[in-house]
Structure 1
Amino acid sequence: MGARIVQIDHMSEAPKAVLKHLERSASPAGQRARLLMALDGLAAIAFAAGLAFGIDAIAQGRGMAPWLVLALAAMTFRGVLAHLTGVAGAQAAAEAKASVRADLARSIFGGPRRAAGEATTALVEGVEALDGHVARFLPARFSAAALPLVMIAVAAIASPVCAGILLATLVPFIAAMVLAGTAAAAESRAQFLALERLSGLFLDRVRALPVVLAFQAEGATTAALKRSASELAERTIRVLRVAFISSAALEFFAALSVALVAVYCGFNLLRLLPFPVPEQLDLKRAFFVLALAPEVYAPMRRLAAAYHDRQAAEAASASLSTFEAPTPKPAAAVATEAPTIRFEGVTVRYPDADAPALENFSLVAQAGTITALVGPSGAGKSSLLNLLLDLAPLTAGRIEAQGEIAWAGQSPLILPASIADNIALSRRDASRAEIEAAARAVGLVVDRPGGLDFVLDERGSGLSGGERRRLSLARALLKPAPILLLDEPTANLDAASEAALLDAIREAAKGRTTLIATHSEAVAALADQVVRL
Structure 2
Amino acid sequence: MDKSQEKILMAWLKRQKGACGRYLSLAVIFGFLSGVALIIQAWLIATILQGVIIEQLARDHFLMHFTILVGLIFVRAALSYAREITSFEAGSQLRSTIREAVQQKLVDLGPAFIQGKPAGAWASIVLEQVEDLHDYYSRYLPQVTLAGMIPLVILVVVFPINWAGGLVLLLTAPLIPLFMVLVGMGAADANRKNFAALARLSGHFMDRLKGLNQIQLFSQGETELKAITRASDEFRERTMTVLRMAFLSSAVLEFFAAVSIAVLAVYFGFTYLGHLDFGHYGESVSLFTGLFILILAPEFYQPLRDMGTHYHAKAQAVGAAEELMSLLNYQPSVEHSSNAPALAKPLAQTNTAVSAGANVSPKISNQIGKIDKKIVAIEATDLTVMSFDGQPLVGPLSFKLQSTQKVGLVGPSGAGKTSLMSALLGFLPYEGSLAIVDESGRRQSLSQCDLQVWRSQIAWLGQNPQLFHGTLRDNLQLAGQDYSDKHLKSVLEKAQIGDFIDSLEQGLDYEIQDQAAGLSVGQAQRIALARAMMQDAQWYLLDEPSASLDSVSEVAVMSAISEATIDKSCLMITHRLDQLAAMDEIWVLANGKLVQQGHFEQLSAKEGLFKSMLSGHEQGLAIDLGTTELELQEGKQ
In the superposition, the TM-score normalised over structure 2's length comes to 0.63
**1:466 and 1:253, CA in 2 relative to 1: closer, same or farther beyond 3 A?**
same
Matched to 1:250, the amino acid is L
Distance 2:10 2:111 in 1: 23
Distance 2:567 2:201 in 1: 52
What is the CA-CA distance between 1:343 and the residue it aligns to? 5.8
Q: Between Structure 1 and Structure 2, whose CA radius of gyration is higher? A: 2
Residues 1:406 and 2:459 aligned together: yes
What is the CA-CA distance between 1:275 and the residue it aligns to? 0.3
**1:38 and 1:169, CA in 2 relative to 1: closer, same or farther beyond 3 A?**
farther
What is the CA-CA distance between 1:514 and the residue it aligns to? 1.8
Paired residues for 1:293-304 under 5 Å? 293-304=297-308
Distance 1:525 1:299 in 2: 79
Residues 103, 126 of structure 2: 8 Å contact kept: no
Matched to 2:259, the amino acid is L
Residues 1:274 and 2:276 aligned together: yes
Deviations 1:283-308 (A, max 9, x none): 66654443332222222122212222
Residues 438, 477 of structure 1: 8 Å contact kept: no
Residues 1:485 and 2:541 aligned together: yes
Residues 110, 326 of structure 1: 8 Å contact kept: no
Paired residues for 1:81-480 under 5 Å? 81=82, 83-95=84-96, 97-99=98-100, 101-102=102-103, 105=106, 130-156=133-159, 161-185=164-188, 239-264=242-267, 270=272, 272=274, 274-276=276-278, 277-278=280-281, 286-315=290-319, 317=321, 325-327=330-332, 328-329=335-336, 333-335=369-371, 336-342=373-379, 364-373=400-409, 382-389=418-425, 399-401=434-436, 402=446, 403-404=454-455, 405-427=458-480, 430-433=481-484, 437=487, 439-443=489-493, 445=498, 446-447=501-502, 448=504, 451-463=507-519, 465=521, 467-479=523-535
Query: What's the secondary structure of 1:299's corresponding residue?
Result: helix
Query: What's the secondary structure of 1:414's corresponding residue?
Result: coil
Distance 2:462 2:543 in 1: 5
Deviations 1:62-112 (A, max 9, x none): 346523532431342244135314522441452354156447746797779
What is the CA-CA distance between 1:408 and the residue it aligns to? 2.0
What is the CA-CA distance between 1:390 and the residue it aligns to? 5.1
Residues 373, 517 of structure 1: 8 Å contact kept: yes
RMSD between aligned residues: 5.1
**1:491 and 1:111, CA in 2 relative to 1: closer, same or farther beyond 3 A?**
closer
Distance 1:125 1:468 in 2: 32
**1:197 and 1:492, CA in 2 relative to 1: closer, same or farther beyond 3 A?**
closer
Query: What's the secondary structure of 1:406's corresponding residue?
Result: strand
Q: What percent identity do the matched residue pairs reach? A: 30
**1:525 and 1:151, CA in 2 relative to 1: closer, same or farther beyond 3 A?**
farther
Paired residues for 1:49-68 under 5 Å? 49-50=40-41, 53=44, 59=52, 60-62=58-60, 63=63, 66-68=67-69
**1:507 and 1:158, CA in 2 relative to 1: closer, same or farther beyond 3 A?**
farther
Residues 175, 256 of structure 2: 8 Å contact kept: yes
In the superposition, the TM-score normalised over structure 1's length comes to 0.73
Map of 2:355 onto structure 1: none
Distance 1:81 1:363 in 2: 64
What is the CA-CA distance between 1:24 and the residue it aligns to? 2.0
Matched to 2:152, the amino acid is L
**1:516 and 1:163, CA in 2 relative to 1: closer, same or farther beyond 3 A?**
same
Matched to 1:337, the amino acid is K
Matched to 1:441, the amino acid is V
Residues 402, 569 of structure 2: 8 Å contact kept: yes
Q: How many residues align?
A: 512
**1:157 and 1:458, CA in 2 relative to 1: closer, same or farther beyond 3 A?**
farther
Residues 33, 84 of structure 1: 8 Å contact kept: no
Distance 2:76 2:459 in 1: 59
What is the CA-CA distance between 1:465 and the residue it aligns to? 4.7
Map of 1:4 onto structure 2: none
What is the CA-CA distance between 1:194 and the residue it aligns to? 7.3
Bigger Cα displacement from structure 2, 163-172 vs 110-119: 110-119
What is the CA-CA distance between 1:36 and the residue it aligns to? 1.3
**1:52 and 1:175, CA in 2 relative to 1: closer, same or farther beyond 3 A?**
same
Matched to 2:59, the amino acid is G
Matched to 1:98, the amino acid is R
Residues 410, 489 of structure 1: 8 Å contact kept: yes
Residues 41, 151 of structure 1: 8 Å contact kept: no
Residues 93, 135 of structure 1: 8 Å contact kept: no
Deviations 1:26-79 (A, max 9, x none): 245365145314422322432453465367558442346523532431342244
Residues 146, 303 of structure 2: 8 Å contact kept: yes
Deviations 1:168-224 (A, max 9, x none): 22122232233333354565566667778989999999999999x99x9x99x9799
Residues 1:29 and 2:31 aligned together: no
What is the CA-CA distance between 1:149 and the residue it aligns to? 1.2
Distance 2:474 2:211 in 1: 39
Matched to 2:68, the amino acid is W
Distance 2:128 2:583 in 1: 48
Residues 374, 524 of structure 1: 8 Å contact kept: no
Distance 2:524 2:118 in 1: 30
Residues 417, 573 of structure 2: 8 Å contact kept: yes
Residues 92, 134 of structure 1: 8 Å contact kept: no
Residues 378, 435 of structure 2: 8 Å contact kept: yes
Matched to 1:452, the amino acid is L
Matched to 1:137, the amino acid is Y
Match of 2:33 among 42, 59, 63: 42
Residues 338, 513 of structure 1: 8 Å contact kept: no
Map of 1:7 onto structure 2: none
Distance 2:11 2:564 in 1: 50
Distance 2:112 2:2 in 1: 22
Paired residues for 1:4-19 under 5 Å? 12-19=3-10
Map of 1:514 onto structure 2: 570
**1:52 and 1:191, CA in 2 relative to 1: closer, same or farther beyond 3 A?**
same
Distance 1:349 1:70 in 2: 69
Residues 484, 513 of structure 1: 8 Å contact kept: yes
Distance 1:358 1:203 in 2: 31
Residues 165, 264 of structure 2: 8 Å contact kept: yes
Residues 47, 70 of structure 1: 8 Å contact kept: no
What is the CA-CA distance between 1:460 and the residue it aligns to? 3.7
Distance 1:368 1:470 in 2: 22
Matched to 1:94, the amino acid is R
RCO (CA 8 Å, sep 6+): is it higher in 1 or 2? Answer: 1
Query: What's the secondary structure of 1:178's corresponding residue?
Result: helix
Residues 343, 398 of structure 1: 8 Å contact kept: yes
Distance 1:486 1:530 in 2: 14
